[in-house]
């Protein structure tokens, strides 16, 4: 195993233990609103600390960017860890058992290592650039459905960017009439991991953050999938607007979405 992947897996599992312990006693979890429909818990903070501790123990000079803690600059700017300690916080605080730890490592701007860990199911999705993607210890590939009518698509509603609701609903409606079914589960990291594992055929969402998608992006691509923004370009890490899937599925979603985009979402 890639030495930095070993650390990423160890950090993800440490965070997972923190999350599982807290999930058994949800009445003791402290919840604070960061903004509209945006929450942070003491568990997010503790899980983030567990991840940072594991990374710093082995790589004290690396830079770490966390959802809750912001940027923790190290002397070495070439290596950047991008972390979401609990993707799916809203699910977690309501007792819905669907959330994940997401950890990605970039070297000079390219993602080299990625881990998405579901502590409830003890499912580990991982990838190393150029070495493929794995589910636990098994190689995984995106689905082979070539026609949109056979696909199940995953999505996330733009609940933090409701100014895009009208455009989103046009895209959703158009895709829903073409595909077999839709899923909205509440964790972008797991949606991307499920695309890589072939559990769903494609995924689209508006207004995500880098820590939501950095790990899942590499995992999908190493599983043979493609990832673009809504216009079919490669600005998704900046815009947070993303489409992912098997290559033909991604192309079909882009073909549907592109003519429906507002000016704000074309950029």
Which residues contribute to the annotated binding site for Mg(2+)?
Answer: 67, 84, 86-87, 212
Q: Name the binding residues.
A: 67, 84, 86-87, 212
Q: Which tokens is 80 given?
A: 């950047």
Pairwise CA distance, residues 84 & 76, whole Å: 21
CB 261 within 8 A of CB 169: no
Burial environment of residue 267 by CB neighbours within 10 A (0 to 12, 13 to 18, 19 or more): middle
Pairwise CA distance, residues 242 & 190, whole Å: 14
Q: Which tokens is 227 given?
A: 């990832």
Closest CA to 256 of 150, 172, 200, 196: 172
């Amino acid at each position: 195993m890639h030495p930095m992947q070993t650390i990423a897996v160890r950090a993800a599992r440490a965070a997972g233990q923190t999350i599982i312990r807290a999930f058994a006693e949800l009445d003791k979890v402290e919840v604070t609103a960061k903004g509209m429909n945006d929450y942070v818990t003491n568990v997010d903070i503790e899980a983030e600390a567990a991840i940072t501790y594991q990374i710093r123990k082995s790589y004290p000079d690396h830079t770490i960017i966390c959802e809750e803690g912001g940027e923790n600059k190290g002397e070495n700017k070439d290596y950047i860890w991008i972390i979401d300690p609990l993707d799916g916080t809203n699910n977690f605080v309501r007792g819905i058992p669907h959330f994940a730890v997401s950890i990605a490592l970039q070297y000079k701007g390219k993602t080299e290592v990625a881990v998405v860990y579901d502590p409830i199911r003890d499912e580990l999705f991982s990838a190393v650039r150029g070495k493929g993607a794995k589910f636990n210890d098994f190689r995984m590939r995106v689905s082979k459905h070539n026609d949109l009518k056979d696909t199940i698509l995953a999505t996330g509603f733009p609940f933090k960017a409701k100014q895009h609701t009208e455009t989103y609903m046009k895209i959703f409606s158009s895709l829903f009439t073409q595909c077999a079914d839709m899923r909205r589960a509440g964790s972008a990291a797991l949606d991307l991991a499920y695309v890589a594992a072939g559990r769903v055929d494609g995924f689209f969402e508006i207004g995500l953050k880098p820590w939501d998608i950095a790990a899942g992006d590499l995992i999908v691509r190493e599983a043979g999938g493609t990832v673009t923004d809504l216009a079919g370009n490669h600005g998704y890490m900046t815009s947070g607007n993303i489409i992912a899937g098997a290559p033909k599925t991604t192309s079909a979603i882009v073909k549907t979405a592109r003519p429906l985009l507002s000016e704000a979402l074309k950029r």
